[in-house]
Amino acid sequence: MNLDAKIYVAGHRGLVGSAIVRNLTAKGYSNLVFRTSQQLDLTRRDQVDLFFEEEEPEYVFLAAAKVGGIVANNDFPAEFIRDNLMIQTNVIDAAYQNGVKKLLFLGSTCIYPKLAAQPMREDSLLTGELEPTNEPYAIAKIAGIKMCQSYNRQYGTNFISIMPTNLYGPHDNFDLSSSHVLPALIRKFHEAKMNNAPTVEVWGTGTPKREFLYSDDLADAAIYLMNCYSGSDLVNIGMGKDISIKELAEKIGETVGYEGEIVFNASKPDGAPRKLVDINRLTSLGWQATTSLDEGLEMAYKWFLEHIEKNTMLTN
């Protein structure tokens, strides 16, 4: 991508999109275009078509999606499959119709089977049943991958798909009813510390293992691949190592400075037993993550204090 190329970042205010904007800006890309969801409803095809016709972006990072943790996926399955199918269908087809040079589609490692061999390779896609707690979201993302591959095959487009592991960082969702495990735990432990609560409850047994990648690392990988990779094969983006939820909770407790007891509620769902991605394809392309989990947690908690906690104090 030339530094003056017109680049559309869909979902620029979210965890991933905001990191991509920061990274592009730091690298000297100056012709960025984006819209808030109030300005452009990506579930509306007429609005998407008009935007692409007027702006004529050359490159698209499709980071807009309806996302959430186990609770949100369980409570709103219809919205997760409907909204994501509509967003990606509208944007991918509009990119083709308007001659976009290249599009990057953000998937998720939840596309892989619940019991996929670990670490999960890209070719394990569609080889087994999905994790039931986020199946509607996963099916939507699989459809997006297949749509990119199909357009490449039939129309000769240059649409690539990347599968990031669990992400965290600035602009994360810290709402306890809809967030993923890591930001939810940051908020839980912080509030417990502020309230001198003797215990913090963590859902599940604590035994499942998860991999976590700092959002700015994911953004760097996305821009690197936009510049250096073309093809229909998926590319996993991750650290290449994981940690148990129990160990994660302990690390977050230490980061926040909480000194009470951690209690695991085994009556709540664990989700998949393990979700570690194989990153051999990514490393063979020449990219590797640089932010350790300890460093990332410190930065994520600092951002939480500066933005979420401050706003909560102002509104209470």
How many angstroms separate the Cα of 294 from the Cα of each of 58, 74, 140, 250, 253?
A: 37, 30, 32, 12, 12
Cite the DSSP H helix spans in 98-209.
135-155, 181-194
Structure letter (DSSP) for residue 120: B
What lies within 8 Å, CB to CB, of 299 at 6+ separation is: 169, 170, 214, 291
Q: Is the pLDDT of residue 255 over 50?
A: yes
* 216-235: burial string, b at 16+ Cβ within 10 Å, e else: bbbbbbbbbbbeebeebebb
Q: Is the pLDDT of residue 123 over 70?
A: yes
User: Which residue did the predictor score with more confidence, 28 or 110?
Assistant: 28
Is 273 annotated for ligand binding?
no
**pLDDT interval class at 133 (50, 70, 90):** confident
Q: What is the mean pLDDT of residues 101-125?
A: 95
Predicted confidence (pLDDT) per residue in 75-110, tens digit: 889 999 999 999 999 999 999 999 999 999 999 999
For residue 30, give both structure tokens. 């100056």
**pLDDT interval class at 31 (50, 70, 90):** very high
Q: What is the mean pLDDT of residues 282-309?
A: 96
Q: Give residue 8's pLDDT.
A: 98
**pLDDT interval class at 272 (50, 70, 90):** confident
Phi, psi of 163 (to 5 degrees): -115, 95
User: Which residue did the predictor score with more confidence, 86 or 268?
Assistant: 86
Q: Give residue 314's pLDDT.
A: 42
Q: Give residue 312's pLDDT.
A: 62
Closest C-alpha to 230, from 125, 101, 112: 101
The radius of gyration of the chain from alpha carbons, rounded to an integer in Å, stands at 19
Domains and CATH numbers, the chain: 7-315 (3.40.50.720)
Q: Give residue 121's pLDDT.
A: 97
Is 257 annotated for ligand binding?
no
Is 203 annotated for ligand binding?
yes
Closest C-alpha to 240, from 253, 227, 256, 221: 221
Q: Is the pLDDT of residue 291 over 80?
A: yes
Per-residue H/E/C for 28-43: CCCCEECCCCCCCCCC
Q: Is the Cβ–Cβ distance between 65 and 85 less than 8 Å?
A: no
Which residue out of 137, 214, 229, 258 is catalytically annotated? 137
Q: Note if 137 is an active site residue.
A: yes
Is 12 annotated for ligand binding?
yes
Q: Residue written as tokens 């980071």? A: 63
Is 109 annotated for ligand binding?
yes
- How many angstroms from the chain centroid is the CA of residue 163? 9
How many angstroms separate the Cα of 148 from the Cα of each of 24, 96, 232?
A: 23, 10, 7
Predicted confidence (pLDDT) per residue in 8-23, tens digit: 999 999 999 999 999 9
Is 153 annotated for ligand binding?
no
User: Which residue did the predictor score with more confidence, 180 or 298?
Assistant: 298
